[in-house]
Structure 1
Amino acid sequence: MSLYNTIRNTIVPVHKEGYPFIAAFLAASLILGWLFAPLFWIGLILTLWCAYFFRDPERMTPQDDDLVISPADGKVSSVQMVVPPSELNLGDEPMLRISVFMNVFNCHVNRAPMRGRIQTIAYRSGSFLNAELDKASEHNERNGLVIESAHGAIGVVQIAGFVARRILCFAQPNEPLQAGERFGLIRFGSRLDVFLPAGAVARVTLGQTAVAGETVIAEFGSAKGPTTSRRD
């Protein structure tokens, strides 16, 4: 591996939304260090963590309209049939919902799970329960996108968590999205729900680690059944 690739893989780019936070952490570290020297080192560690939190690495996304790609880094916390949120206007029938929970150490840049065009973006205020809880989908602050894909409308919902207090969505209605394209970010712990129409088969299981823009979480047009797992 060349020196360039080694540096590129070690030093991950930071998303621009993180710059103000990193600057604030660093400024606080300098002030605290001026008051009491050991506090500078504690602040510096927190500053490095902040830069790590806002990392925005490149991802290699499969370009296949039959594949659904994880929109977030984290743990698969739910794979079940659920009625989608009413503001998405996806109907009253249960859809396959795959949820990915992000803790404070995961990369929080959100990516489109499929190629398509954004039909709707719907924000709803709410609580800040632990995003890993199932009831967080109903009660927490959230921002939903409806994307018209090759297999029909799919829903992607950004859900704020206990620590998260800010959902960011960079996309706009009627904009096209490519699978794996960045569309948003949630600050400091949260969850992404993906609602899929009939024909989708889950390709992940509970507890599995997913990588945004790379992990295939579901598939359309496959004769194979749902994925099973085994813990060794």
Structure 2
Amino acid sequence: MTIHREGTATILLVLVALAVINGIIYYFTSAYPAVTWGLLFISLVFWLFIISFFRVPSRVFKADENLVIAPADGKVVVIEETFEAEYFKDKRLQISIFMSPANVHVNRNPIAGEIKLSQYHAGKYLVAWHPKSSTENERHTVVIANKNNEILVRQIAGALARRIVNYMKAGMKVEQNSEMGFIKFGSRVDIYLPVGTKVNVKLNEIVRNGQTVIATLS
């Protein structure tokens, strides 16, 4: 396991802040060692949680041009046909993955191909499971095309996630499971597929980026 580069500054900042806070706590509670050590323990647990949030576990990735691999860790919360208004402007099959603060937050490209669109949108911070979060929240849309299909992947910020990082630019050629970006502190990723695509997951299923097959392309 490694720590993602997006976490370096945050981890150091939290460490410095906790050191200052615990110094102040020690000054006022040194006469009560049980209180001092208890608060120090809570600070340590919190810092370890911040570190774990930016973890990048070692994984054996699954790759196949006919398969759509999960772009995010989390739970499948939506599988439905819906109108995609930003790029396709027609009906698509939507699969949404909710990422809790405890999940790995690296996002990966679900297929290999060329980036046709990479577009950031400012927006609200509704809770990630809100029906309007896909179109009203801060988000970043990426469209990937291969020789047979185009799919859209949308990173969506939530009530806690206030920063979306995306590394894709239009015209880039990307490999399946390569890093697409990172969402800090929980959110959701939507995938839009052609109607009729075979779905390999079910609602409330836990998926892992780079490993879980979420759909099979025609």
What TM-score comes out, normalization by structure 1 length?
0.86
CA contact 2:120–2:141 (8 Å) conserved in 1:
yes
1:183 aligns with 2:180: yes
Matches of residues 123-162 of structure 1 in structure 2 within 5 Å? 123-162=120-159
User: Which letter maps to 1:90?
Assistant: F
- Higher Cα Rg: structure 1 or 2? 2
Q: CA RMSD in A?
A: 1.2
Distance 1:19 1:183 in 2: 18
Q: Secondary structure at the match of 2:129?
A: coil
Q: Deviations over 1:49-76 (max 9, x none)?
A: 1110001123322221110000000000
Q: Does the 8 Å contact 1:65/1:150 carry over to 2?
A: no
Which of 170, 193, 204 pairs up with 2:201?
A: 204
Aligned to 1:35: 24
C-alpha deviation, 1:199, in angstroms: 4.5
Q: CA deviation at 1:47?
A: 1.1
Report the 3-state secondary structure (helix = DSSP H, G, I; strand = E; otherwise coil) of the residue aligned with 1:33.
helix
1:175-198 CA distances to partner (integer Å, 9 max, x unpaired)?
A: 111111111001011100001124
Structure 2: 5+ residue stretches without partners: 27-35
CA distance in structure 2 between the partners assigned to 1:154 and 1:20 by the alignment: 33
Contact 2:142 2:168 in 1 (8 A): no
- Equivalent positions of 1:4-23 (< 5 A) are 12-23=1-12
Match of 1:80 in 2: 80
> What secondary structure does 1:36 align onto?
helix
Aligned identity (percent) is 37
The answer on whether the counterparts of 2:81 and 2:195 sit within 8 Å (CA) in structure 1 is no
Supply the distance in 1 between the matched residues of 2:184 and 2:98 (Cα, whole angstroms): 13
1:119 to 2:119 alignment: no
**Which residue is 2:32 aligned to?**
none
Q: 2:96 is matched with which residue?
A: 99
| CA–CA distance in structure 2, aligned partners of residues 159 and 191 of structure 1 | 5
- Please give the alpha-carbon distance, in whole angstroms, between the structure 1 residues aligned to 2:211 and 2:7: 23
CA distance in 1, matches of 2:129, 2:49: 22
Whether the 8 Å contact between 1:30 and 1:40 is mirrored in structure 2 is no
1:53 aligns with 2:42: no
1:24 and 2:13 equivalent?
A: yes
Query: Equivalents in 2 of 1:178, 1:59: separation in Å?
Result: 16
SS of the residue corresponding to residue 94 of structure 1 reads: strand
Q: Specify which structure has the bigger relative contact order, considering alpha-carbon pairs within 8 angstroms and separated by 6 or more residues.
A: 2
Please give the alpha-carbon distance, in whole angstroms, between the structure 2 residues aligned to 1:139 and 1:117.
Answer: 27
Aligned residue pairs total 207
Q: d(CA) in 1 for partners of 2:196 and 2:59?
A: 27
CA deviation digits over 1:73-107, x for unaligned, max 9?
00001001111242xx212x210111000010001
Letter in 1 for 2:25: F
